[in-house]
């Protein structure tokens, strides 16, 4: 598996326009139609902030002069929120005073375009901001990829797991997490050597990746442990996916040691309605389920429901 295999299929970058003027939205929609991007629109600061948190756009085009919540307040809120802190913001404003421009840049804007704007110039500025965003995004992703397996690494998990819980609780959606541990991994290294152990980890990673959906977050947690974050997934659905991973690994034939069957244990913790403990306790419940799988025979899936009766286990 290569590092690029973890990334989502290429899509057009998302550009969020926050402006109270419907005419501006129509103009941008018409004039930017030929650009390789997708526009999403908000007509108020509050709606724009919600979209920025939910959709994570590549850049934001922000009007300053809006009722109720003006652009300065929106910009300040974007930069105060860890989820949107790094979003590049281009200000589109009829305010032309040096003070307004200085304030916008001090609050974190990357560019300032005054209205009425020249559309050709705006296109160039948007393209430039998108190029910078794509380069920084590529560097950030590479820093969060495990070099051996091509899955995301522990640093990426530590960032995304609290975000997944916050999203599930905010919208009342199901969420499950699974921890996976390769059974008797040390004996594989001791018997066949570390290259064989590395091959096992790479194959496990490929099975996990192929079994997961595009919305799932599969990471190498450390050593022979992996973790899978499954948004919009009930504990029952997560258990089915994990048992598919378990059986696929059990049935894998190994060219360099065909006599050896490799198995794994998985511990799942999840709930249906977005309620549940904080990120550390939730992860601890999954780890406890994994421990039960290890101590009750291995090659098992143990599942903990956080909001109801426990599920039947699989082995």
The residues carrying an active-site annotation are 224
C-alpha–C-alpha distance, residues 209 and 149, integer Å: 10
C-alpha–C-alpha distance, residues 295 and 182, integer Å: 13
C-alpha–C-alpha distance, residues 291 and 288, integer Å: 5
Give the other-Cβ count within 10 Å of 124's Cβ.
11
Look-up: residue for tokens 């099975």? Answer: 207
Produce one character per residue of 241-272: b if its CB has 16 or more CB atoms within 10 Å, e if not: bbbebbebbeeeebeebeeeebebbbbbbbbb
C-alpha–C-alpha distance, residues 175 and 152, integer Å: 19
Shortest CA distance to 272 belongs to which of 224, 220, 234, 219? 234
Torsion of CA 192, 197, 203, 206, to 10 degrees: -170
C-alpha–C-alpha distance, residues 128 and 134, integer Å: 10
């Amino acid at each position: 598996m290569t590092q690029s295999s973890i990334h989502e299929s290429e899509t057009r970058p998302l550009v969020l326009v926050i402006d109270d003027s419907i005419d501006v939205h129509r103009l941008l929609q018409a004039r930017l139609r030929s650009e390789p991007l997708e526009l999403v629109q908000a007509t108020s600061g509050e709606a724009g902030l919600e979209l920025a948190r939910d959709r994570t756009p590549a850049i934001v085009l922000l009007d300053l002069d809006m009722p109720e919540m003006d652009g300065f307040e929106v910009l300040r809120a974007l930069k105060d929120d860890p989820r949107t802190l790094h979003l590049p913001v281009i200000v589109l404003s009829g305010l032309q005073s040096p003070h307004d421009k200085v304030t916008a840049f001090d609050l974190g804007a990357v560019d300032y375009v005054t209205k009425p704007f020249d559309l050709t110039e705006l296109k160039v500025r948007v393209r430039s901001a998108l190029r910078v965003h794509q380069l920084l995004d590529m560097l950030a992703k590479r820093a969060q990829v495990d070099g051996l397996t091509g899955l995301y690494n522990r640093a990426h998990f530590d960032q995304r797991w609290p975000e997944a819980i916050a999203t599930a609780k905010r919208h009342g959606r199901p969420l499950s997490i699974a921890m996976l541990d390769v059974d008797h991994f040390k004996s594989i290294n001791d018997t066949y050597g570390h290259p064989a152990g590395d091959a096992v980890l790479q194959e496990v990673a490929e099975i996990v990746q192929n079994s997961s959906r595009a919305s799932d977050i599969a990471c190498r947690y450390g050593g022979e442990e992996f973790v899978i974050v499954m948004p919009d997934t009930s504990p029952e659905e997560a258990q089915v996916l994990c048992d598919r991973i378990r059986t696929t690994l059990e049935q894998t034939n190994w060219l360099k040691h065909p006599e050896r069957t490799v198995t794994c244990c998985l511990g799942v913790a999840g709930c249906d309605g977005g309620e549940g403990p904080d990120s550390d306790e939730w992860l601890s419940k999954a780890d406890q389920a994994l421990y039960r799988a290890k101590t009750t025979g291995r090659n098992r899936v143990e599942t903990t429901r956080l909001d109801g009766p426990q599920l039947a286990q699989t082995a």
